[in-house]
Amino acid sequence: MNLRAAIYARRSKEEDKTGAGVESVPRQIDFARRAIAALGWTLKETHVISDEVSGGEILRRPGLQALRAMAGRGEFDVIVVRDLDRFARCEPARQAGLLQELADVDVRLWEYQAREFVRLDGANFIVTSARMISAEQEKLKASTRIREALHLRAEQGYAVGRSIFGFDHRRDGRIVHRVRNETEIATIVHVGETAVRLGSFNGAATALNAEGVLAPAGGAWDARAVKAILTQPVYRGQIVYGRTRSVSKRGMNLRVPAAEEQVQRHARPDLAIWPADLREKIDTLIAGRTRNHSPLAKRTHLASGFVKCGLCGTGIVTTGSHVSNSVTYCCDRMRARRCPGIGYRNERAVDEALLASLAPLVTDEVLERACVIAREHLEAEQHEDARASEVERIRRELATAERRCRNIGDALAEADAAQRPDLMARHREELQRREAVRGALANAERARPSVDAEDLIDQLRARVTELRGLIARGGAEARRAVEAILGQARFIARPVVVDGRKRWDLRARLGGGYLYQAAGAPLPRLCAPQKRIAKGDDAASHVAAAQKARAAGMALSVITLLGIAGERSDEHARATAQLVTEMDPQFFAALTVTVVPGTPLAQLRAKGRFEVPPVLDLLRELRTLVDLARPTDAIFRTNHASNYLPLAGHLPRDRARIVEVIDAALDGKIRLRAEGTRGL
């Protein structure tokens, strides 16, 4: 069989340092080429991919991401690797998901050491899963051994980790010693003396930049770099090791703070740099610079802390003087030349724009509409008959879930090896669903405290009136109103040109319940006079994100939710098809909305404000979506357990066939998935 092959090789930098018995990347590629030639497969040079990143990384492996994108475009049939560990060495579930993603686009993995394919079918999945689990356990054991060895070296006084500014590393076999670098030490002392003399981290950074002194990284100084020098434990004669540890989360290896008992501290007075008198002055300076990071910390500038740079995400700060009436806002990182910057804008103009954008959110019209919806919601929640009916409905759903768990368990006990994996997966899903229903029942049965709706409405009116007054007065006093309305949200400032003049475009995205959050009233976000279904982004934002993902070489996957628009399903299908066309994903899937007890959507349905469309309407929505969406080349699936009609194919290649199948289902010629077998 003449298969089109690709090669993937990986050897992490950690394996280079520890000599972990894995061939180099060129050697892996050479062995893979020989295997491909022996099997008679074809290979393009553009399909030879490598990475020098840990196997626990999924999202931050550029070679792997490029490989996934190529596989999605159908550029090859098989990926040749040394072994499964070279392809992925993360959590078994994540490895299995990655392999299944390849299987969905008809791409298989070949191990040249074992001379066989990695298989996921039937009982072979159990064998592959066991290999994944074994590799994960071995990785954890190796990580523990390496960490213990490094801790021992740190206890013995040897250098561990990267070099520190002021010291060079000198290798003696496998042992590394720290050697003082007198030139860099002179710079460190000068930084300390400058900071003490000026009494400010920012002031010291400005002075050092003016003198032409380079920061440790080779660029300009800023307040963070100065503080890092002043607080470095080594310069005080102390080695601190193990303050962070590596964990695998969401397909990435992340550094997180370690538990205090795991941190090692060793006295090394021979490494101390600060003279005793200078160290005391530095300690005094640091103690005096401790800030109050409370959200309501006293600040004298309205927009400070509420606006972020749209280019780097850093907060804006003020520069200039009130004496000369020239105070402006700018990006904090721009001052240190670490961001292209969004320019400088007059403080008063920014403050007025910010308050003007928030004023319409607390008008009488918005308040009255919110009060009406809130009163309806509170009255419905206090209606005992409605609550009792909801409890009874959830109990019936729980009984159904428990019965399905028992039935699948009985089937599992009698199943053969080939049927077990599928049944085990279904059993896990049903157990999760049962626990979710149990939680919903516990919430529904919990007695609700009696609430005086009119009293809460009066509190809401009084609080919003107070906020409106703060906004009208402006100044730093209005910070309390801005904080109350924004909550965790922040304005994003982006540079724009209006009538030939540079300006800022200020935008903030608020949650649906901003008014109740601002008023401090215990009312649900569901009551806010906003959209019924709030996903947090508009179509333009999705298209922009898709363009950035493609530019970064990432494979783009888009999922739409059938039925979420209720009675407006046809309108939803047409708008979604247009959005899919503009986003142009490589993977496109559709799920069907499922109302879970205890959720805001379930509350909407109980009050008659939302209803899942009939099955035929859901199929018509799916047909419109497939018929109108125009991706360049997308793998299309509706095989999720929530759907009534499982479909698979490529768009646009298989559009006519998929539409024909949907039409047959609408005519009753194809049996749909039974309601009892659907799930999340």
Residues 401-424 pLDDT 10s: 788 778 877 777 777 777 777 777
Task: Pick the closest to residue 439 from 615, 584, 289, 597 (CA basis).
Answer: 597
Residues 162-187 pLDDT 10s: 788 988 888 887 788 888 899 999 99
Model's pTM, two decimal places? 0.36
- Sequential DSSP letters for 569-638: HHHHHHHHHHHHHHH--SEEEEEE----TTSHHHHHHHTTS--PPPHHHHHHHHHHHHHH---SSEEEE-
Average pLDDT of span 524-540: 45
User: With pLDDT > 90 as the criterion, what percentage of the chain qualifies?
Assistant: 13
- Sequential DSSP letters for 10-67: E--HHHHHHT-S---HHHHHHHHHHHHHHHT-EEEEEEEEEE-S-TT-STT-HHHHHH
- List phi, psi (to 5°) of 509: -110, 115
Residues 243-271 pLDDT 10s: 777 666 554 556 677 777 777 787 888 88
- Structural domains of the chain ordered from first start: 4-146 (3.40.50.1390), 178-288 (3.90.1750), 302-530 (no CATH), 539-677 (no CATH)
Quick check: 386 pLDDT over 60?
no
Residues 319-333 pLDDT 10s: 876 555 678 888 888
Distance of alpha carbon 231 from alpha carbon 237, whole angstroms: 12
Say what the pLDDT of residue 95 is: 78
Task: Pick the closest to residue 422 from 433, 434, 411 (CA basis).
Answer: 411
Say what the pLDDT of residue 59 is: 58
Greater pLDDT, 104 or 260: 104
Say what the pLDDT of residue 516 is: 45
CB 307 within 8 A of CB 315: yes
Task: Pick the closest to residue 616 from 573, 668, 652 (CA basis).
Answer: 668
Task: Pick the closest to residue 303 from 6, 504, 514, 568 (CA basis).
Answer: 504
SS3 state at 188: helix
How does strand 175-180 pair with strand 238-241?
unpaired
Rg (CA), the chain: 31
Distance of alpha carbon 198 from alpha carbon 200, whole angstroms: 6
Quick check: 213 pLDDT over 50?
yes
Place of tokens 């030349």: 337
